[in-house]
Structure 1
Amino acid sequence: MLWGGNVITKIFTGNSIDECLEKASKELDIKIENIKYEILEEKKSIFRKKATISVILDEVSNEDDGTVRIVGGKILVKNPKNEGKPAIIRPSKDINLIINGEKVNTAVEVYDYTVIDIEFDQTVSKRVMNISITPDKMKAYINIKYIPEIVYKLQDCDESREVNLIAEIKEKKLPPKYTKEEIIKELRNNNVVYGIKKGALEKCCSEEKIEHILIAEGIQVIDDIDDELDIKYNTNANKLVEDSTGKVDYKSIGRIVSVKKGDTLAFLKRGKQGRDGVDVTGKVIKHKKGKVIHLKAGEGCEIKDDVMVIALRDGKPSTKGTTFFVKQIHEVNGNVDLKTGNIKFNGDIIVYGAVMEGMKVEAGRDIEIYKNVADSYVVARGDVYLRANVINSDVAAGDEDVFRLKYIKNLKKFRELIDVLKDTCVQVKQHNLVGKKSKDGEIVKILIENKFKNITKLSNEILIQSLQCKQENNKLAYIVKQKLVGLGPLSIVSFDELDEMVKFIEKEIAVVSTKLTVPVNVYVYYCQDSNIDSSGSIYFTGKGEYVSNIIAHDGVYFESPQSIARGGVIKAGNEIRCKCVGSSGGVSTKLVIEKYGDIWADIAYQNTRFAIGLQEYILEKPARDIHAYLDKNGELTVDKFNL
């Protein structure tokens, strides 16, 4: 306890100023806000905190001193007598003290004539609304907070020579709550216009605090469920068969599956229709359309109750897309030779023997031959299965489609040439390269004879292919004869006739394309010195090919690990996959993709040629794991490892 002048003080120590004040309040039984104190020491460090304050306990009473007290928020001052000291007022951080019109920040002496004004820190009520939307825009949440305006007054105190001004809350004034209209307007400002929840909206208008309440929710999109087709007969007939030792019988591909009259071939399970969704912004989210299957009955079948396919006769079941067939089968139990004559049948043909020299086998659907085909001609509109060797023979799957695809390919090439010819003609005439008096037809003839010699050759091929594809009353063929063959170009009056010719070419492509059927495949064990053509893909299931011309409009695949591609040309529309290409002796073997696609080979020897479009790469050394393709810049790239 210390005495200094008329003042009595007491020292309190703790870890912080607040702790010192709590000790003083408890020991002296004085409210913290009424304690008069001075800070003697305050240390803050990582390892230690210490604070010391001096509390003013009392003053020795002097009846002549001035006093001040606060009653009902009013400051009442009594002047000192004789030699007494005047009263003192101390401001606080929450109160602005103005004495005689000037603001003061420290203790000040006052008298009853002193003009004392008090100003409190102003607070303004406000309200805050926040709208948040989930990333998928299917839900919107709202947060609302109301901040009140606080009105202060002076805290009363007893009469004393010194008074600390203390502010206390008189009242809190909340701002008006948001109305439905205001909330809806704010939602719209945030693009929330759909799925607003009525109950949540009412709650937001009645409660003082709203935390993360779901205010709007969209409708989730539901995708369609696909139709499912359950095929009742064995569709794995072409799957390779393994024996008990794990050895694969590569000749087992293409086995025939048969059904009886009245058998159910397939059952259609209908899917379910979904619905579009709508997010909280009102955007409609389209649902994914399901796969809808439309059953169709082909030859030998009927549709029952719109969901079942029933066989109308005994035979071989098959499907092209969602059209089902039960095909009649013509079986030849021996060889096709002079005794049987050439075989021609609109349905399937199965030959359990061989096809001998000079014979023809033609089927309106599939062909399956179990033994060798030598010096023969085999053609089918459907798939062709050749389980043994093919020597010096011609094989075609797709029949008329093979001709049509070649015809379409030449028509597209022809169209490009005519376009370039037209542009060149215009430039020649503009620059007077052949004389001002030259007519348009003369310029066309000169360019065809000197720069565009391929047009004459291609024109003749198109005329022949038009007949092969049975394109009767073909106006394009007539125009080609009249305008491009022989002296025909001289009859051209204007270069614009070439544009008309391009239109006829495009029309012919469209007409022929509509006549194309489902691509079909060839499955062959081994071929040598032969020509094999397919409107779909060609699969080598055994030893492979030797010095043959292989053309597939989709892909060529060597499936057996022992398959080889040695000599000849293998051409595909999209993809070639080989096991072993060429030989250590460097026999020339060419692998060709017409425009865009991939060529794969496990092993390839020198002198193997990889061609995609107009670009070609010749392998100089044996290599493995080869992949030829066009990179993003259209350049032929061959990835490989040295063997």
Structure 2
Amino acid sequence: MSGRDLTDEELLRLIRELGGGGGSPLAPSKSDRSVRADGSWAMIVGGDVAIHYGAGFAAGDIVMEAKPPVKLYVNGAAVDGKAILEKGDRVGWSVEEPPMFRIHVSPDGIQAHLHIRAAVRKPWRLLPKEASSHLVLEAGEDEEGAAQPLSAADVIGRIHEMGVSCNLNLPAILQEIAEPTYEPVLIARGVEPIPSRDAELTLYFAERIESVFRETDGSIDFKNHLRIPQAAAGERIARRTAPVPGVAGRNVFNQAIVPPAPADVPIRAGRYVDITPDGDVIALKAGRPKLSGDRVKLFDITTEYVVFGDVDLAKGNIVFSGDVVIYGDVLEGMIVESLGNTYVFGNVYGATITATGSIYISGNATNSYLYSGYFGVVYNRLYSYTKALGEQLESLLAAAAELERAVRAQGRTARVGHLLATLASAKFAGVPKTIQESLAALTHVRRTDGEEWGDLRRQLEAVSGPLGFLGLASAEPLERLRELASRSFETIERMQERQVTIQFAQCNGTTVKSNGDIAVTKEGTFQSRLFARDGIVFKSSGAVCRGGELEAGGLIALMSVGGQSGGEAVIRSNQRILAERIYMAKLCIGRSEQYVQRPMQQVTAYLNRGRLIVEGEAI
């Protein structure tokens, strides 16, 4: 009898039917321990999975898993690991294999590469497996199956699908497909953008004064202050190179690559400098070059106010828009405020010194207050008074305008001066007081080659006469005063210099706050409070720190801490603490702290994974 050949599916169905009987040679051998006693089994025959459920089949009688690159599916869902079959489950499989090629675009989008992994791919076929209740699916290449070569249409289609089009090298693509190297081949290159160039600021003077005081045969060389950076009239003190915008490029997707805009460094000229069209900053007079400001850099030449002798009641307090040089002591109760550096060739006793720049004291500071940089701004009296006055006047004028509208709504009238005086008495009593405080601060302003703050002084005097606000015919004088007060405190704010230092030989019972560094040149500190945004350094080998509190954002380098008297010192740093010797102290870095109660030498304190480590040798 002849007929068509049975298909794989028909053969599998016949195998299942014949295998059901115990006497059939197609039935699994009873001696095969991997087959369930009830006759349930699975096998691979003809490249497909055959499953037989015995009469007493229960879930779990047949277990399947796949060996990579084969992926097992049960009822259409992928299975990771082992699959416990239930009766009627549909089992399928596939082979997970890498694509024949890959198109890789560089992170910057400038280059695209073709990487062929296989030029020809053969079909996969499940390897035959005998019947078992635990079947592991494995596959191999079907040597008799039709091979699938990599086609140019597939590669080019994928490239177009990805959108790669800029400077596409079609010959290189076809060559790699015809004779694959199996290495990444450049197939497209974009146009790299030309980066922008940021503005640059070049200084031709030193911002920080490393050493100011020098002793010769035990006495101070008073000419040493001439080592402060100086510029001659007409000298170039800085140069700003203008920013240069970049040129856009294109990526392999033919999209524009726009370089980031260049960063600018805006500069402004102070009273005694000129800025040329080319960006050169030229000194118009001799003096110390000064750079201040944060976002906008302000250049100027600082003038000097020199005091020969002590600053006492006879000389009065000093307020000066520039550097103050004192050849003598600053005595108790006196105030020196400079919008620049302050140099004291002597001692400071019970006084206050504020400087928007640095403070240098050749001698000692006792029971005093020293503020530099940012702190020299906020503790400056004229800054505080004019800032408060501007805010107070703004509120007063707004209230006066509202009150005037209310009076008119009632069909009545009132003089502006009367309105302002009544408001000042009832709700804004602080305004007349702040005006008087501002005037008092201005009485100590020292003049050199022109009156400083003249407009502000005259406007304050105009509104503080015998009649006060009552004598005002309009609100315009107070509007003008508010404008001048705001301009004044903003001017002082801009005077804050970048690289500042407070330097002294010794301090006792003194508060020191620097927006930069603090340098102790000789004996040390006693029961004082020191704060530096950057570092604190004790320079003399004999310097001691007894009692008080030292805090810095950067390194604190000490010689000797604690001793027979002076109490416990508290040393705080955000980075590291170094000390030659510590007898007693509380060391703090970040939020961690540790007490040193036994003498140590060569001490280093730092954080390691959030834990404070204190290293040193016992004395």
TM norm structure 1: 0.49
SS of 1:598's partner is coil
Equivalent residue, structure 2, for 1:209:
179
CA distance in 1, matches of 2:590, 2:100: 64
Name which structure has the greater RCO, CA cutoff 8 Å, separation 6+.
2
Residues 227, 270 of structure 1: 8 Å contact kept? yes
SS of the equivalent of 1:626 reads: strand
Q: Give the Cα separation in 1 of the matches to 2:616 and 2:195.
A: 44
**1:378 equivalent among 353, 360, 372:** 353
Identity %: 20
Q: Quote the Cα distance in structure 2 between the aligned partners of 1:340 and 1:148.
A: 99
Maintained 8 Å contact 1:194/1:217 = no
Pairing partner for 1:340 from 296, 312, 315 = 315
Distance in 2 between the 1:148 and 1:341 partners? 97
1:587-640 residue CA offsets vs partner (Å, 9 max, x unmatched)? 4342343xx71341222322212235775422022224434455545x554344
Q: Which amino acid aligns with 2:376?
A: D
1:638 to 2:608 alignment: no
In the other structure, the counterpart of 1:292 is 264
Q: Deviations over 1:43-82 (max 9, x none)?
A: xxxxxxxxxxxxxxxxxxxxxxxxxxxxxxxxxxxxxxxx
Secondary structure of residue in 1 paired with 2:506: strand
1:582 corresponds to? 561
Structure 2: gaps (5+ residues): 1-98, 123-146, 216-220, 385-429, 439-488
> 1:270: which partner in 2?
242
In the TM superposition, residue 294 of structure 1 has moved relative to its aligned partner by 1.5
Task: Answer yes or no: is the 8 Å Cα contact 1:371–1:387 preserved in 2.
Answer: yes
Contact 2:199–2:241, Cα closer than 8 Å, also in 1: yes
Contiguous gaps of at least 5 residues in structure 1 = 1-127, 150-173, 244-248, 408-463, 473-511
**Which of 104, 107, 110 does residue 133 from structure 1 map onto?**
104
User: Contact 1:348–1:363 at 8 Å: present in 2 too?
Assistant: yes
Deviation string 1:346-369 (CA, Å, 9 cap, x unpaired) is: 322111333345543232332111
The Cα offsets for residues 452-499 of structure 1, whole Å up to 9 and x where unpaired, read as xxxxxxxxxxxx9xx99x999xxxxxxxxxxxxxxxxxxxxxxxxxxx
Whether the aligned pair in 1 keeps the contact of 2:522 and 2:542 (CA below 8 Å) is yes
Residues 413-458 of structure 1: per-residue CA shift (max 9 Å, x gap): xxxxxxxxxxxxxxxxxxxxxxxxxxxxxxxxxxxxxxxxxxxxxx
The answer as to 2:168 corresponding to 1:197 is: yes
Structure 1 pair 147/546, CA: closer, same or farther in 2 (3 Å)? closer
Matched, 1:618 2:595: yes
Change beyond 3 A, Cα 1:576–1:205: closer
The amino acid that maps onto 1:376 is A
Match of 1:227 in 2: 199
Relative to 1, partners in 2 of residues 1:200 and 1:235: Cα closer, same or farther, differing over 3 Å? farther
Aligned-partner residue type, residue 374 of structure 1: Y
Q: CA deviation at 1:324?
A: 0.8
* Inter-partner Cα distance in structure 2 for 1:372 and 1:222: 58
SS of corresponding position for 2:556? strand
Tell me: CA distance 1:221–1:524, structure 2 relative to 1, closer, same or farther (3 Å): same
Structure 2 vs 1, CA of residues 254 and 307 (structure 1 numbering), >3 Å: closer, same or farther? same
- Match for residue 304 of structure 1 among 276, 286, 289: 276
Q: Secondary structure at the match of 1:183?
A: helix
**2:536–2:552 contact (8 Å) kept in structure 1:** no
Q: Does 1:186 align with 2:161?
A: no
Name the structure 2 match of 1:314: 286
Q: Is 1:331–2:303 an aligned residue pair?
A: no
Q: 1:26-51: CA deviations, max 9, x gaps?
A: xxxxxxxxxxxxxxxxxxxxxxxxxx
For 2:575, the equivalent position in structure 1 comes to 598
Are the aligned partners of 2:169 and 2:188 in contact in 1 as well (CA < 8 Å)? Answer: no
- The answer to whether the 8 Å contact 1:319/1:325 transfers is yes
SS of match in other structure, 2:166? coil
Distance (whole Å) between structure 1 residues aligned to residue 176 and residue 529 of structure 2: 82
Q: 2:607, 2:613 within 8 Å by CA — same for their partners in 1?
A: yes
Q: Per-residue displacement from partner, 1:354-405 (whole Å, max 9, x unpaired)?
A: 334554323233211122223433233332111222234332323352489x
Which residue identity does 1:611 align to in structure 2?
Answer: C
| Structure 2 match to 1:570 | 549
Q: Once the two structures are superposed, what CA deviation does each residue of 1:486-525 show, in whole Å capped at 9, x if it has no partner? A: xxxxxxxxxxxxxxxxxxxxxxxxxx99996647744223
Q: How far apart, CA to CA, are the structure 1 residues paired with 2:601 and 2:238?
A: 45
- The secondary structure found in structure 2 opposite 1:185 is helix
Is the 1:232–1:265 Cα contact (8 Å) retained in structure 2? yes
Rate the CA distance shift 1:519–1:632 in 2: closer, same or farther, 3 A: farther
Distance in structure 1 (CA, Å) of the matches to 2:342 and 2:214:
24
Equivalent residue number for residue 257 of structure 1: 229
Superposed CA RMSD: 4.7
- Return closer, same or farther for 1:350/1:257 CA change in 2, 3 Å cut-off: same
Contact 2:196 2:245 in 1 (8 A): yes
CA contact (8 A) 1:237 1:253 kept: no
Aligned equivalents of 1:563 and 1:291: distance in 2?
A: 47
Matches within 5 A, 1:55-94: none
Return the structure number with greater strand share. 1
Q: Say which SS state the counterpart of residue 575 (structure 1) adopts.
A: coil
Specify the alignment match of 2:368 in structure 1.
393
Distance 2:491 2:121 in 1: 78
Q: Map residues 420-439 of structure 1 onto 2, 5 A cutoff.
A: none
Q: Note closer, same or farther for the CA distance 1:550–1:284 as it changes in structure 2 (3 Å cut).
A: farther
- Aligned residue in 1 for 2:507: 528
Equivalent pair of 2:235/2:282 in contact (CA under 8 Å)? yes
2:585–2:596 Cα contact (<8 Å) kept: yes
Separation of aligned partners in 1, 2:155 and 2:530 = 71
In the superposition, relative to structure 1, how do residues 471 and 227 fare at CA in structure 2: closer, same or farther (>3 Å)?
Answer: farther
Q: Which residue in the other structure is 1:607 paired with?
A: 584
Maintained 8 Å contact 2:366/2:510: no
Conserved 8 A contact 2:213-2:362: no
Work out whether residues 214 and 224 of structure 2, in 8 Å CA contact, stay in contact via their aligned partners in 1: no
Change in Cα spacing, 1:258 to 1:577, as seen in structure 2 (3 Å) is same
The answer as to whether partners of 1:192 and 1:216 remain within 8 angstroms in 2 is no
Question: Residues of 2 paired with 1:253 and 1:592: CA distance?
Answer: 32
Letter aligned with residue 594 of structure 2 = Y
Relative distance call for 1:141 and 1:273 in structure 2 (3 A) is same
The AA in structure 2 aligned to 1:304 is T
Structure 1 distance, partners of 2:112, 2:158, is 12
Contact 2:120–2:149 (8 Å) recurs in 1:
no
**Deviation readout 1:251-285 (Å, 9 max, x if unpaired):** 97994223233332212223543356665477887
